[in-house]
């Protein structure tokens, strides 16, 4: 959640991001890495006003300050930009929202002319004030000079014994500083997270926003409510994404890419016209145009596939380069390998790339045919147009156009008794 807020602050062009931390401070520091973050620890948790006080000594007097919250992750840049524009010597920006049920929120109190005069917290509000439906989001933009004048005047003489940041609104009104309020386009922008139920609600709304953006870009989603984008997804024209697909990190889908149900794609580039069939997992790989992947294929990191390749069901790839038109159709493991163009790898074939201590390369040239159930013990090179007979274990290099057969002679034993179940 905090990373979302920090990313939005970056989009606004923040010079410095002062992040006030308390409970779990060390874990937060270890998790978030950003050069312009200035960490400030609030050793006593005495309210929002007290939290902002911890930053005062680090603010230049001429700074424009935007107060954001780490548990309000989905606030939009466009909404905040309006608040920042209101920050000047005689004005501050306040973000409010109108709710059907304002219970628990500070109420926005206005005078007869509609000017904001103060904010009253729920526990301190009168019966009439509790009926007010316009409430405070806590998000505001204000000059550092005003903060330095007002925050030292805060008192904790209230029902919660805390220093309310909201009390500066009454101070602004007293000093004839205009409180310019505006509201977000959607109330979900300013929803905070206090428990896992609220977290799940925000996640679903966030995913729906991303689904709508993808469809506006030209993607067809089988069900906009059943897709998860956990990073940045870029799509070309006429992309189709079936249900329950998950995208993580940086993913690019070219034109006419088809993603089947249940696929997980992370940090990958998928070329035009490629089809990723059901329940395939692709991580840190690049796939060329018009490829056929899956179903149930697994790409571990580091693969590069050329155009018109095929990696079929129950095939696992790792750190491999697959040349144009090559096929690994089913039930194979290919790791630390380089395959040329037009290679056919039969079912059940594995590259034995690990000797228990080190990894080795398998090189397969253009036009090689590898029969079913073969083991290629690396390091080994199979030259172009060679053929590997089914069931072979290849431990030596194979020259161009040779047929390699490496398997024991078959014996049929008469009178063999099958094992009996105890």
Residues that constitute the known binding site for acetyl-CoA = 347, 353-354, 372, 390, 407
DSSP character at residue 416: P
CB atoms within 10 A of CB 58: 12
- Residue 100 structure tokens: 């059907």
Binding residues for Mg(2+): 71, 194
Binding residues: 42, 47-48, 69-71, 106, 121, 136, 194, 300, 318, 333, 344, 347, 353-354, 372, 390, 407
**Spatial contact of 240 and 234, defined as CB atoms under 8 Å apart:** no
Candidates 107, 62, 87, 63; CA nearest to 177 is 87
3 state SS of 85: helix
Binding residues for UDP-N-acetyl-alpha-D-glucosamine: 42, 47-48, 69-71, 106, 121, 136, 194, 300, 318, 333, 344
DSSP character at residue 359: B
CA 32, 36, 37, 38 torsion-angle sign: positive
**Spatial contact of 313 and 281, defined as CB atoms under 8 Å apart:** no
**Residues with a known catalytic role:** 330
**Spatial contact of 362 and 317, defined as CB atoms under 8 Å apart:** no
DSSP character at residue 313: E
How far from 11 is each of 14, 67, 95, 402, CA to CA, in Å?
8, 15, 19, 60
- Measure the CA–CA gap between 25 and 42, rounded to whole angstroms: 9
Q: What is the largest CA-CA distance in the chain?
A: 106
Q: Which are the contacts of 172, defined by CB distance < 8 A and separation ≥ 6?
A: 92, 146, 150, 178, 179
Candidates 327, 314, 320, 233; CA nearest to 281 is 314
- Measure the CA–CA gap between 32 and 221, rounded to whole angstroms: 33
User: CA Rg, the chain, in Å?
Assistant: 31
């Amino acid at each position: 959640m905090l990373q979302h807020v920090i990313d939005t602050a970056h989009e606004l062009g923040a010079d410095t991001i002062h992040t006030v931390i308390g409970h779990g401070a060390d874990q937060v520091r270890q998790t978030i890495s950003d050069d312009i973050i200035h960490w400030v620890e609030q050793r006593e948790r005495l309210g929002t006003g007290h939290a902002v006080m911890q930053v005062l000594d680090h603010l230049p007097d001429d700074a424009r300050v935007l107060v954001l919250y780490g548990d309000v992750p989905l606030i939009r840049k466009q909404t905040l930009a309006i608040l920042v524009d209101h920050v000047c010597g005689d004005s501050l920006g306040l973000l409010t929202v109108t709710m059907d049920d304002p219970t628990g929120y500070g109420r926005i109190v206005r005078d007869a002319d509609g000017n904001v005069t103060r904010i009253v917290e729920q526990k301190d509000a009168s019966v009439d004030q509790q009926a007010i439906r316009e409430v405070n989001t806590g998000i505001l933009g204000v000059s550092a000079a005003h903060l330095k004048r007002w925050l030292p005047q805060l008192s904790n003489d209230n029902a919660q014994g805390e220093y309310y940041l909201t009390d500066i609104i009454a101070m602004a009104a007293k000093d004839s500083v205009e409180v310019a309020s505006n509201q977000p386009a959607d109330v979900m922008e300013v929803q905070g997270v206090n428990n896992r139920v609220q977290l799940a609600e925000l996640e679903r709304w966030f995913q729906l926003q991303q689904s709508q953006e993808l469809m506006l870009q030209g993607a067809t989603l089988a069900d906009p409510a059943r897709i998860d984008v956990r990073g940045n997804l870029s799509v070309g024209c006429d992309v189709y994404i079936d249900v329950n697909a998950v995208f993580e990190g940086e993913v690019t889908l070219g034109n006419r890419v088809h993603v089947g149900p249940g696929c997980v794609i992370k940090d990958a580039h998928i070329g035009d016209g490629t089809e990723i069939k059901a329940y395939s997992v692709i991580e840190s790989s690049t796939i060329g145009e018009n490829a056929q992947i899956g179903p149930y294929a697994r790409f571990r990191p580091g693969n590069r596939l050329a155009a018109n390749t095929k990696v079929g069901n129950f095939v696992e790839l790792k750190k491999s380069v697959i040349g144009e038109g090559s096929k690994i159709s089913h039930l194979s493991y290919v790791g630390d390998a380089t395959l040329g163009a037009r290679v056919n790898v039969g079912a059940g074939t594995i590259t034995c790339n690990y000797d228990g201590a080190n990894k080795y390369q398998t090189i397969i040239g253009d036009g090689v045919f590898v029969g079913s159930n073969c083991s290629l013990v690396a390091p080994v090179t199979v030259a172009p147009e060679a053929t590997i007979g089914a069931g072979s274990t290849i431990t030596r290099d194979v020259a161009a156009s040779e047929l390699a057969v490496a398997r024991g002679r078959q014996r049929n034993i008469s009178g063999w008794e099958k094992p009996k179940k105890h």
